[in-house]
A and B are shown apart, each in its own frame.
Chain A
Amino acid sequence: MTTADRIPLLVLGLGNVLCEDDGAGVAALHQLHREWDLPDGVLALDGGTLGLALLPLVERAEIVVLVDAIRGDGPPGTRLRIEGADVAPAVYERLSPHQIGVADLLGGAALLGRYPATVVLLGVVPASTDLGLGCTPDVAAAIPGLVDDVVAELAALGRPATRASVTTGPPRRVDDAALALGL
């Protein structure tokens, strides 16, 4: 893939895996890759806390699905879906540790006139974003549902995923966002 190619549908798992539930989006992304085969036109990446560094990807995408921890109503583990014009305010006010990076990312794309046509945020309410490896039990229990949400979103967008034929064995490699920057 060259840096000039359009990306029909970009899925980004976001968060810091060292900060407990903040890494929920990244955890969901890895599970998605383990259990599902993604159709052509869907690029699903571990965006970590790259923030602005993801701009070269986001500005080439027609549709962006962000998977992330979101502060919101409901107990920890509650799943939320935010779409369109509501996404930008949400990342300013409701995302946790890396929120500024994601806000910069979306703001930067808008400022350059390259905001994707569709942006959807699929999130889970965190219990704790303190330093620590792995999600808390309530949020860990919500990860399979979050993966289902992503799969449902892909189907609704006309690019359904299919169950991976092999779900055992060594984990499949998850492309890192920066590797996909065409370098």
Chain B
Amino acid sequence: MTHVVVDPVTRIEGHLRIEAEIEAGQVTSAWSSSTMFRGIELILQGRDPRDAWAFTQRICGVCTTVHAIASVRAVEDAIGATPPPNARVLRNLIMAAQCVQDHVIHFYHLHALDWVDVVSALSADPAATATLAQSISDWPESSPTYFTGVKARLQAFVDRGQLGPFGNAYWGHAAYRLPPEANLLAVAHYLAALEWQRDFIKLHAILGGKNPHLQSFLVGGMATPVDPNSQAALNIHTIAALRSLIARAKDFVTKVYLPDLLAIASFYKDWAGYGAGVGNYLVYGEYPMTEGKNAPKYIPSGVIRNRDLSKVEAFDDSKITEQIKHSWYKYDGGDDQGLHPAVGETHPTYTGPKPPYDLLDTSAKYSWLKSPRYDGQPMEVGPLARMLVAYVSGHERVKELVGGALGALGVGPEALFSTLGRVAARGIETQVLVEKISDWVDELADNMGRGDLRIHDSDRWDPSSWPKDSSGAGFHEAPRGALGHWVHVKDGKIARYQCVVPSTWNAGPRDAAEQAGPYESALLGTPVVDPEQPLEILRTVHSFDPCMACGVHVVDTKGRELARVKVR
């Protein structure tokens, strides 16, 4: 038996460490651990709830808007503020844009290198690459000259010995299966996506003033003035700029991202058989279509259990608990219970080994993540959960695109419960959102046209208008999945704050009943050809879009380090 350890390098949102046991070339057990304490909840106690979003958006330097949204919604729920339609539409725009941008970056810059062998691209024939590109898309940049240029640029990069983002990977690994031309195509679009995201970022700047630390959020609405005739507001010119940015984004997603995804997936269909995970899916829902707490949402909420695609249960937030039997926390009432986040506790008590260490004692507490459970069960959150719930709920566009992708790959719906399904769902969601987003621009323009310029509910701005003691919850579908903030406001100050983030749902440890979390389950049965280069483990973990980058080193059962390879 070989023991593989995927260990952290970065703390963007908390270290992620995976320990896995491998027998006969397959993962037989896996443990997911976060090795960094994230105590934002403690920083917020005693602060003005109207400022909470500005702190929470810095929980993670990368996905900032998501915590801002969840936070303002939680506080609005607690104090009874209702954002007007323009604020709802602007938030939808910002959230959808964030999701589109994150998904494209994830595919090309964080995940593609698990499937694409950059070094192999150097032996590609540019003319054959052009033929391949033209056979899957009518994207204009697909000439032999273009691919000759990309290949030369890559060659020069390699010759200089500065591989940069391509430096730490398993080039030549037996699990890479794309022909050189497909690899060159993917490298070309890696660069194209880099250019594209520079352009798309402008959308955040127009909507929010700056990115990623947006300044435009306000409890009760938004701070962005809307006025068709004002230079200093969202006006007819910015509407036109938004339309043009969105059109370019749609073009890129439709003609580059989705065709690439399907082309690459066609070489890795066996990955529709790995990485299934817990088989339970939770979605809070997102993009409210009208005002008020029970507004219908464009991406519907719901719960699917045991891979049963015949029905979706209604989401009930009272069924959420967080457990800590295997987490480095104490609960006042004992560590075997689960607490709802509204009464959640954050008492850190580290009992793990003193770093540096070889292995965690996974029979005891082994993670800084709690174990969120829904009705006592582990749940996967994220694009796959959202697309499954939407598919079963009868979302027309999602059904079309899921059906189209399954047809193109010649696989059935059961293929969705997999590593490949997760990758495909992310692409499908990107397509759905990049198409929908222009409706919200139209809605904003229509409101302006009708003279409805309201952007903020100021009735509840002054703390004297608030209840003396109240609680609220804010739910958001972040790119990575279901995000919830819970706030207790007392005498105008934050008395308690709890965040349950998507990566806690997906990467959390075993619970009091020893049920494994989604990462831990998804890794079971994953083939590992070479334990010194556990590329396959990364494929499945990265398919969830973990917010933590990972370094990998491999130790044998005695804990001796055999190899260390940093991977992103």
Q: CB within 8 Å of B: which residues of A?
A: 16-19, 48-53, 55-56, 85, 88, 92, 96-101, 103-104, 106-108, 110-113, 129-133, 176-179, 181, 183
Verify A18–B55 contact, CB threshold 8 A: yes
With a cutoff of 8 Å between Cβ atoms, the chain B residues found around residue A178 in the complex are: 201, 204-205, 209-213
Task: Identify the closest chain A residue to B163 (Cβ).
Answer: A107
Q: Which one of B39, B191, B211 contacts A112 once the chains associate, using CB atoms below 8 Å? A: B191
Q: Which one of A49, A131, A176 contacts B62 once the chains associate, using CB atoms below 8 Å? A: A49
Q: CB within 8 Å of A: which residues of B?
A: 9-12, 36-40, 43, 55, 58-59, 61-62, 105, 109, 153, 157, 162, 164-168, 190-191, 194-195, 197-198, 201-202, 204-206, 209-213, 549, 566, 568
Query: What are 26 pairs between A and B in contact, CB < 8 Å?
Result: A16-B58, A17-B58, A18-B55, A48-B212, A48-B213, A50-B61, A52-B194, A98-B12, A99-B9, A100-B10, A100-B12, A101-B12, A103-B164, A107-B164, A131-B39, A131-B40, A131-B43, A132-B43, A176-B210, A177-B210, A178-B201, A178-B211, A178-B212, A179-B209, A181-B201, A183-B205
Query: How many residue pairs, one in A and one in B, have C-beta atoms under 8 Å apart?
Result: 110
Known: A97-B61, A107-B166. 15 other contacts (CB 8 A): A18-B58, A48-B213, A49-B12, A52-B197, A56-B201, A88-B162, A92-B566, A97-B12, A99-B10, A100-B10, A131-B38, A131-B43, A178-B205, A181-B201, A181-B202
Q: Give the CA-CA distance A154 to B210 in the complex, in Å.
A: 27
Q: Give the CA-CA distance A144 to B3 in the complex, in Å.
A: 47
With a cutoff of 8 Å between Cβ atoms, the chain B residues found around residue A133 in the complex are: 43
Verify A51–B198 contact, CB threshold 8 A: no
Counting from the closest, the 8 A-B pairs by CB-CB distance are A49-B61, A107-B164, A178-B210, A183-B205, A107-B165, A97-B11, A18-B58, A178-B211
Verify A53–B211 contact, CB threshold 8 A: yes
With a cutoff of 8 Å between Cβ atoms, the chain A residues found around residue B210 in the complex are: 176-179
With a cutoff of 8 Å between Cβ atoms, the chain A residues found around residue B39 in the complex are: 131
Q: Give the CA-CA distance A113 to B154 in the complex, in Å.
A: 10
Q: Give the CA-CA distance A50 to B109 in the complex, in Å.
A: 15
Known contacts: A18-B40, A56-B198, A92-B167. The answer to whether A100 contacts B568 by CB under 8 A is yes
CB distance from B161 to the nearest CB of A (A): 10
Q: Give the CA-CA distance A56 to B210 in the complex, in Å.
A: 14
With a cutoff of 8 Å between Cβ atoms, the chain A residues found around residue B212 in the complex are: 48-50, 53, 178
Q: Which one of A88, A97, A112 contacts B10 once the chains associate, using CB atoms below 8 Å? A: A97
With a cutoff of 8 Å between Cβ atoms, the chain A residues found around residue B153 in the complex are: 111, 113
Verify B11–A108 contact, CB threshold 8 A: no
CB distance from A21 to the nearest CB of B (A): 12
Verify B37–A130 contact, CB threshold 8 A: yes
Known contacts: A106-B164, A131-B43. The answer to whether A96 contacts B209 by CB under 8 A is no
Q: Give the CA-CA distance A113 to B50 in the complex, in Å.
A: 44
CB distance from B55 to the nearest CB of A (A): 7
With a cutoff of 8 Å between Cβ atoms, the chain B residues found around residue A101 in the complex are: 12, 61-62
Verify B162–A110 contact, CB threshold 8 A: yes
CB distance from B367 to the nearest CB of A (A): 16
Q: Give the CA-CA distance A107 to B154 in the complex, in Å.
A: 12
CB distance from A114 to the nearest CB of B (A): 10
Known contacts: A16-B61, A88-B162, A110-B157. The answer to whether A55 contacts B194 by CB under 8 A is yes
Verify B165–A103 contact, CB threshold 8 A: yes
With a cutoff of 8 Å between Cβ atoms, the chain B residues found around residue A177 in the complex are: 210
Q: Give the CA-CA distance A133 to B45 in the complex, in Å.
A: 13
Verify B164–A110 contact, CB threshold 8 A: yes
With a cutoff of 8 Å between Cβ atoms, the chain A residues found around residue B211 in the complex are: 50, 53, 178
With a cutoff of 8 Å between Cβ atoms, the chain A residues found around residue B206 in the complex are: 183
Q: Give the CA-CA distance A76 to B98 in the complex, in Å.
A: 37
Verify B62–A108 contact, CB threshold 8 A: no
With a cutoff of 8 Å between Cβ atoms, the chain A residues found around residue B195 in the complex are: 112
CB distance from B344 to the nearest CB of A (A): 17
With a cutoff of 8 Å between Cβ atoms, the chain B residues found around residue A111 in the complex are: 153, 157, 164-165, 190-191, 194
Q: Give the CA-CA distance A121 to B37 in the complex, in Å.
A: 29
Q: Give the CA-CA distance A98 to B549 in the complex, in Å.
A: 10
With a cutoff of 8 Å between Cβ atoms, the chain B residues found around residue A56 in the complex are: 198, 201
Verify A98–B61 contact, CB threshold 8 A: yes
Task: Identify the closest chain A residue to B195 (Cβ).
Answer: A112
Known contacts: A133-B43, A176-B213, A181-B201. The answer to whether A108 contacts B194 by CB under 8 A is yes
CB distance from A174 to the nearest CB of B (A): 12
Q: Give the CA-CA distance A52 to B105 in the complex, in Å.
A: 10
CB distance from B497 to the nearest CB of A (A): 13
Task: Identify the closest chain A residue to B165 (Cβ).
Answer: A107
Task: Identify the closest chain B residue to A110 (Cβ).
Answer: B164
